């Protein structure tokens, strides 16, 4: 069984803190640079490294720092992915993916026990300015944020990783597209309590290409939306 962590980067430099952690935890770090899209980066990376059904795969950003210790990090991932009916696991997502195509739409609303959001992420490029986004209790979700995703090779190899023809942007909405595929196949996507820092302020507006792909996604999946976790 291989344990592969695929990290797209435009800098062509392996992120030192993240790479050191993953390698120490027993993962082979695969830096994906010089690709024209994140879809091509992941699909070509998986193909070149001959990912097999029992392999474990991580797709993650290059600007994160993992705070969970190595033993628990592996435990949380392996505990969930040993189940054949689990698709992707990640750190943030939603149980109710609405027609807007914005998974965090209910963030900061007083929704109480009806809150559909799930997971937690620390945001900030400087520790003194860091803030915590606690989205909601961990568990089954419809879609996951692409900041950190993990899956078995058997899941990775049964979905389309290349950019769909209805997307125009090369770097956006891949996470929603990937996790929607597994959800519609009847697999459970889940959030797990891995704590990490996203070294950004966590802006919610999104760039033009993100909105273009969001609209294209909504148009393509209009008859499937909203996606809802039942039970």
Q: What is the pLDDT of residues 95-105, one digit of tens each?
A: 999 999 999 98
Rounded-to-integer distance, Cα 14 and Cα 21, Å = 12
pLDDT tens-digit readout, 205-219: 578 999 999 999 999
pLDDT digits (tens, 9 = 90+) for 112-149: 557 899 999 999 877 767 889 999 999 999 999 999 99
Give me the percent of the chain exceeding a pLDDT of 70: 94
Inform me whether the pLDDT recorded for 203 exceeds 90. Answer: no
The domain locations on the chain are 3-228
Does residue 53 register a pLDDT over 90? yes
Average pLDDT over residues 189-195: 98
* 17-26, 112-121, 139-148, 158-167: least confident range: 112-121
Look up the CATH architecture of domain 3-228.
Alpha-Beta Complex (3.90)
């Amino acid at each position: 069984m291989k344990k592969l962590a695929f990290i797209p980067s435009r800098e062509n430099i392996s992120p030192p803190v993240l790479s050191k952690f993953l390698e120490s935890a027993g993962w082979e770090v695969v830096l994906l640079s010089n690709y024209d899209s994140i879809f091509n980066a992941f699909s070509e990376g998986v193909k070149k490294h001959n990912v097999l059904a029992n392999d474990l795969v991580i797709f993650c950003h290059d600007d994160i720092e993992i705070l969970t210790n190595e033993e628990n990090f592996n435990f949380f991932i392996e505990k969930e992915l040993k189940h054949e009916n689990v698709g992707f696991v990640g750190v943030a997502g939603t149980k109710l993916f609405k027609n807007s195509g914005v998974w965090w739409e209910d963030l900061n609303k007083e929704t109480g026990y009806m809150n559909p959001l799930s997971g937690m992420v620390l945001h900030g490029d400087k520790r003194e300015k860091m803030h915590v986004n606690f989205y909601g209790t961990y568990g089954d979700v419809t879609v996951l944020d692409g900041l950190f995703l993990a899956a078995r090779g058997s899941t990775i190899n049964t979905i389309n990783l290349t950019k769909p023809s209805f997307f125009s942007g090369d770097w956006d909405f891949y996470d929603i597209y990937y996790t929607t595929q597994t959800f519609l196949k009847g697999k459970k996507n889940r959030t797990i309590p891995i704590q990490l820092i996203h070294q950004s302020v966590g802006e919610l507006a999104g760039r033009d290409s993100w909105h273009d792909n969001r609209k294209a996604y909504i148009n393509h999946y209009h008859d499937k939306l909203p996606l809802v976790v039942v039970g």
